[in-house]
Amino acid sequence: MGTTNLLGRPSFGALVLRSDAQRCLAVNPVTPVSWPALASGALQVGDCIETVGGIPIGDRKLIDTRLRALVDGPPSERFVEVAFRRAEMPFVVTLPVARIGLFEWLQVQVGLVVVALACWLMALVVLLAQPHAEANQVYALLYLATALGVVGLHHQFQNDQVGRLYTALTIVISPQLIGAALFHLALLIPEPLRRRRWLRFALYPPALVGLGLHLDSMLDMAGEHPWSPDFARAANLIGAALMFAGLVVFVGRMLLAARPGPQLRVMQQARLLLVSWALGVTPLLAIAVFFLATNRLPRAVSLQTGLFFLPIALTGTAFAMLRYQAFAYRGRLLQGMTALFVSASAACLALPLLLPYHIDGPLFVAVLVCALVTTLFWYQDTPLRRAFRRYFLRHQQDYRIAYMFSRAIRETQPLDELLATAARMIGESFEAEWVAVRLGGGPERQWVAGQGVHPAGMSALLATTSAAGASLIAGPAGAIGVVCIGPRTTGEPLDEEDYGLLSMLTDHLGRVLTVQSQLDRLARVPGVVLAAQEQERSRLSQELHDAVLPYLSALPFGLERVRRLLGGGGEARAELWQLLDRYSEKATATARELRNIIGQLQMPDLHGARLFAALRASCEAICGQAQVALVWDVAEAAPELEAEAALHLYRLVQQAVTNAVQHSRSDAVHVQARSLDGAVEITIRDDGGGSDPRQERRPQQHGRSPSVGAGKP
């Protein structure tokens, strides 16, 4: 808030800061390099300002009065001579004087505010993801302390007491806490200490001592005493030692953990932390070390330039920690952190190219926003993104996995090989320890992929190891199986993005299995047709055997008897006429039976209203042959059915009435039909006593299968 005092104040193009090391007022390291004094090379960060317009730099009020007079004067007189010392060599330069406007104020503040807000935001996100995790708590402490240090780099409070208090509560506290928290975090990730766990708190006592010494020297809590300067120097040394110790231990542990080992999660997390810290902390550390060693910075470089790299370490460390933790909205949060990490890295990689243009806060924020918009274009699913992906980006990881999976299982024909391939590819895609594919829920129909895992031991494995995720294999009539995924070899939990990919793969697997099942059924159609033909032939042979063959078999014997009776007398002639009448009746019955069989084989016209007429004619023929009464209860016209449906209905009614006539021993068969919204409902019942199916079994040499009577409803 105190920096708003800069607005409207006259300046010669540099901010000054008290430097205890040089015992002078030096150019502040946060001065934007785009300001004219630094952009022209007349001044550099760390130069000791001695006089401004001949007035000693310590007399700030008189200098402000002189600069205001110059600013209010003619443009040709808005220049002032500044005497300074650089590397113990005196210099005098003439610099333009101007008022600090809103844009110049933004050049000072935007970079610091953006970095501080990034520290606070990442600390809050990590803490809220797992509030009770010690590593998350220490991470939040580390970056909250970093944010305090950033916001304390510059202020313009007019009251010295307020300024000293602000400095004490920000930049004085941060070095002590940063060193102790970094040491603590180094002993927690990627894997906490198993022995002597108390060591992680070892640097907090000296941090409290250094903090007390700093506060005493800044706020004069113990009053004036001759050793106050020694307290300040001791506090600075303690802070520097703590930060150095924390950094060395952190980098050392990460280097040890990054070596190839049995725990893949530890190795990957350590490598990610090393990469993010190498990109995000190394530039800031190099600038700080150079400044402490030489009390100045190279041209076109300020402390803000190093701070711009800090978001890389922020997001990289947060991603490395949260990647192996389970919490709500994990997938979206990690995706957002990845976008921020990539954006910050891209913006910082562009900084060396922008050095000739004098990088300041607004310029860096503009580059960062452009990089973030570009990154979000690649990550977010929008209509523009989908159109771009459709034409230019066909090989994103998930879609590449889906494409390779689809191609592999489409080219695999045997069911066992297909499902084994599916299990193997799903396991490779998710880096899972094992994958099990089950069909129909039976243990005998199970395919497993995994190192050292056998289907026979799958039940024992599931009893001791819980599946990380599962997805149903959908078929036309519901679920036909399930895919279970074991824990990942990397230790990562599955999130909503992973479940989306798994659902996509199982849906495609279900479609392939459905198509293959239909193809298998189509392959069996010729056999089914042949079996139906043989069954129909067997039925016809049985009908002919029962209805026609007895008459034809008895006909030669009857003719022989007729021949003998022709040579007899009157009584023989009377018997002959009786025999002829009996054979005439049998011939008529046999002809009627043949017509009935032929009528059943022929398909009548079943379109529209003719359906019920054809059904009635068929039922009357069947009942008339058996001398059973038919009660036909149909009072309305038949609806228009498809040809296949009408044929199925006709054959079903024929068979049902035939069963009722042959097996129920009833005197009447009742047939009732009605239309229901384009459908037909037919009820067939009889008043017989039913039959025992075991008593209806015929000899198998005739090929007739047993049938069951309708019985009473």
Q: Distance of alpha carbon 61 from its chain centroid, rounded?
A: 62
Long-range contact list for 129-138, CB < 8 A, 24+ apart? 129/322, 129/325, 129/327, 129/333, 130/322, 130/325, 130/327, 133/325, 134/188, 134/192, 135/185, 135/188, 135/189, 135/192, 135/321, 136/321, 136/325, 138/181, 138/184, 138/185, 138/188
How many domains does the chain contain in total?
A: 4
Does some domain include residue 379?
A: no
Dist CA 601 CA 597 (whole Å): 6
CATH code (residue 504):
3.30.450.40
Does the residue 70 lie in any domain?
yes
Which residue do the tokens 């056999």 mark?
527
**198 shares a domain with 316:** yes
Residue 535 lies in a domain: no
Structure tokens at 46: 């760390």
- Decide if 673 contacts 697 (C-beta within 8 A): no
Bin 230: left if φ > 0, else alpha if -120 < ψ < 50, else beta. Answer: alpha
pLDDT tens for each residue of 450-506: 655 555 555 555 555 677 788 888 877 778 888 888 888 888 888 887 888 888 888
- DSSP β-bridge partners for residue 55: 52
What SS3 state is found at 472?
strand
Asked, for residue 540, whether it belongs to a domain, the answer is no
In a domain, 82, yes or no: yes
Tell me: do 93 and 153 sit in the same domain. Answer: no
pLDDT tens, residue by residue, 210-241: 888 777 666 554 445 454 556 667 777 888 88
150 and 257 share one domain:
yes
Claim to verify: residue 672 and residue 694 sit in the same structural domain: yes
Q: Pairing between strand 469-475 and 478-485?
A: antiparallel
CATH at 158: 1.20.1070.10
How far CA 437 is from CA of 402, 421, 465, 483, 491, in Å, comes to: 17, 10, 16, 5, 22
Please indicate, yes or no, whether residues 259 and 170 belong to a single structural domain of this protein. Answer: yes
- 414 and 292, same domain (yes or no): no
Does residue 229 share a domain with residue 135? yes
Indicate the pLDDT class of residue 704, thresholds 50, 70 and 90.
very low
**Are residues 113 and 86 part of one domain?**
no
78 lies in a domain? Answer: yes
- Determine how β-strand 434-439 pairs with β-strand 629-633: unpaired
pLDDT band of 703, cuts 50, 70, 90:
very low
* The predicted structure's pLDDT at residue 142: 93
pLDDT attached to residue 568: 65
For residue 675, the enclosing domain spans 606-713
Give the pLDDT score at 171: 75
Which of 100, 122, 140 is at the close of a domain?
100
- CB neighbours of residue 286 within 10 Å: 13
Supply the mean pLDDT for the chain.
Answer: 79
265-269, 431-435, 487-491, 578-582, range with the lowest pLDDT:
578-582
Give the model's pLDDT for residue 692: 57
DSSP 327: -
Query: For position 451, what pLDDT does the model report?
Result: 57
Q: Which of 100, 134, 169 is the last residue of a domain?
A: 100
* CATH code where residue 34 lies: 2.30.42.10
Q: Are residues 44 and 171 in the same domain?
A: no
Final residue before a domain boundary, out of 279, 295, 325: 325
- The answer to whether residue 527 sits within a structural domain is no
Q: Are residues 448 and 505 in the same domain?
A: yes
Q: How far apart are the first and last CA of the chain?
A: 93
Percentage of the chain beyond pLDDT 90 is 12
Nearest-angstrom CA–CA distance, 585 and 232: 135
**CATH for 635:** 3.30.565.10
Q: Which contiguous run of DSSP H or E holds residue 674?
A: strand 668-676
- 201-215, 237-251, 387-401, 649-663: which has the minimum mean pLDDT? 387-401
* More reliable by pLDDT, 354 or 332: 332
Same domain membership, residue 9 and residue 72: yes
Residue 711 clears pLDDT 80, i.e. is over it: no
Mean pLDDT, residues 52-72: 86
Q: What phi and psi values does residue 472 have, to the nearest 5 degrees?
A: -75, 145
Do 82 and 169 fall into the same domain?
Answer: no
Q: Do the Cβ atoms of 420 and 447 come closer than 8 Å?
A: yes
Contact between residue 632 and residue 671 where contact means Cβ atoms under 8 Å apart: yes
Residue 273: is its pLDDT beyond 80? yes
Q: pLDDT confidence of 389, banded at 50, 70, 90? A: low
- Is residue 347 included in any domain, yes or no? no
Residue 557 has pLDDT above 80, yes or no: no
Mean pLDDT across 261-275: 88
DSSP states of 330-366: HHHHHHHHHHHHHHHHHHHHTHHHHGGG---HHHHHH
pLDDT band at 316 (very low <50, low <70, confident <90, very high): very high
CA distances from 506 to 398, 462, 467 (A): 14, 20, 16
pLDDT digits (tens, 9 = 90+) for 523-555: 888 887 787 777 777 777 777 767 676 766 677
